[in-house]
Structure 1
Amino acid sequence: MTHGTAPASETAGAPSALLEVHAAVVNVLGLPKLAGIPDRQARGAHCLWCDWGPLTTETAVDLGEHMADGVTAFPRACRRCAGRRAHRGMFDHHPDCETCRTTEAGCEIGRALYRLAREGRR
């Protein structure tokens, strides 16, 4: 039996694929300055925030491609850091979002933050 919110192919407690985060959600998470970060963090081998690694597709959250001072970075985060930042981000996002305040389902960004916060607790 599978949980109603989890894909059927996912086994209990074991994420099966790299989580990708939409650019609007990354804005809420608040990336640090990318200029001057170590190469292992810029290429996504280690967490952007806590430097834990090496990250795998099962343990990483893809934060997308970013440009900083002419340098391209592909930062990723560990699920724990992304989840913590998403939890804090919900407090920043929800009060200002009309859809999140007035509907039970909320907006796409609010739902993504909620899912990311839940993933960070696994």
Structure 2
Amino acid sequence: MFVIPIFIEAGITGFESPAAEYTELGISLDELIIRHPNATFIGLASGESMQDVGIFDGDLLVVDRSENVSTGDVIVASYNGTFVCKIIDKTNRLLISASKNYQSVYISEDDDFKLEGVVTSSIRLHKNRAELSRCLPS
């Protein structure tokens, strides 16, 4: 028989919090997801075109301006006056959606295109999304 060693102190009912063993690790989400604080911003994802890479409408995107951009990276860019989140193909000058429901877009010389940064992580809010919306400019 397999025995799980659980030590219960007198006067305590129930079990210790499962998170208690992690309290001494000193994990900071800022340090974990932001490598270059002075070059990083957070944006709000909108739409369904990036769902196949796990980015959903309302997710927070951590975007690092100092990361080197490679083909296949998820990026945020200004494209003809609109901020977009896409997969970049530098060789073929394409902005690729992660959904087959959306066509790739060729970046021509006439387009107003500016790479804003590489998406290094995304955060999905399961509660209090309405509070986040109130914090954003209209």
* TM-score category, normalised to shorter length: under 0.3
The structure where helix makes up a greater share of residues is 1
**Alignment TM-score, normalising by the size of structure 2:** 0.21
The structure where strand makes up a greater share of residues is 2
- Structure ID, larger Rg: 2
